[in-house]
Amino acid sequence: MSGATPVTLLTGFLGAGKTTLLARLLARPDLRDTAVLINEFGAVGLDHLLVEAVEGEVVLMRGGCVCCSIRGDLKAALLGLHDRRRRGLVPAFRRVVIETTGLADPGPALATLVADPVLRHAFAPAGTVTVVDAVNGAATLDTCDEAVRQVAAADRIVLTKTDLAAPETVAGVAARLARLNPVAPVRRLALGTDPEAALILDPAAILPGRFRAEAEPVPHAGITAVLLESGPVDWVRFGLWLSMLLHRHGARILRLKGLVAVEGVATPVVIQGVQHLIHPPLHLAAWPDGRPGTRLVAIVRDLDTALLRRSFAAFTGRPAGLPEGVVNETCLDPSGS
């Protein structure tokens, strides 16, 4: 809602370098009015930025940032921080960054922000930044499901330690990330590279970064990114399709994101979701790429993409890249069951 404090989720697997990135970002003057939620002070590399305790698990950093330790429930930590700001117990902050643990699935944290009726009045999701290690990233994606979910949920991906890996290794990991999440720009970051404040500040983080024309299997069991396209859609029919899809297959939808052209509406609607959760639609003032049309990227696990396309085509009434006549094969259940 208008006036809500934007919240950026910073995630990444163990050792990816997200805490190092966070410390470098918080040292920037343009991010001094930021509040940070982390899990433990003593276990992270922010100690050199902490200067004094304010109240309980709240400390001030050089430059005026506020840092809180999450000892339990994320909702309680956010509401406690909001209350301290309201009572003037901490410096005013304009944004919040939540650093997740290295083994976290971002889905529950996003669900807390989007679905909780109390939090929605004070906070609004402003994008997910996922940090991936260029040295170990490929192996991590091969063996750790949490890492795959972190990449799939990203609005932006930061590829770290690019100065420590061979150029062909960096290029291979970057290409794999682009296949796994076709709508998240990949930013390469070496130790001597100054991280951009736009990683947190830029509101365009929630917009799709790019679209791929074809579904492409990812080198990880059962995961595929697929593009669904059509012209303007009937909003009610589209909502029915989306509700049915997530109700039956939400656990298999690692990420859904894109622009929707609504019949009778000149400007686009941003749709994004993770698993069973769909964020409130965002209405834009203009098409970011100047090309009207519905374009959604779904990152799915163990879901037949042909049947997914068919169900989308059946509800939108558009071919969605399928051969002529396939649209008449109404398939309300993408699993075919």
Render pLDDT for 44-102 as a digit per residue (tens, 0 to 9).
567 667 655 566 667 777 767 888 877 668 898 899 899 999 999 888 899 999 998 88
Render pLDDT for 179-234 as a digit per residue (tens, 0 to 9).
889 889 999 988 778 888 888 887 776 777 777 645 455 555 678 888 899 999 99
CATH top-level class of 216-328: alpha beta
CB burial class (10 A; 0-12, 13-18, 19+) of residue 335? middle
Please tell me which of 32-41, 48-57, 139-148, 324-333 the model is most confident about, judged by mean pLDDT: 139-148
Beta-bridge mates of residue 10: 99, 129
Task: Compute the average pLDDT of residues 148-160.
Answer: 93
Amino acid at 327: V
Domain ranges of the chain: 5-206, 216-328
Q: What fold does the segment set 5-206 form as a domain?
A: Rossmann fold (3.40.50)
Check if 5-206 and 216-328 are the same fold. Answer: no
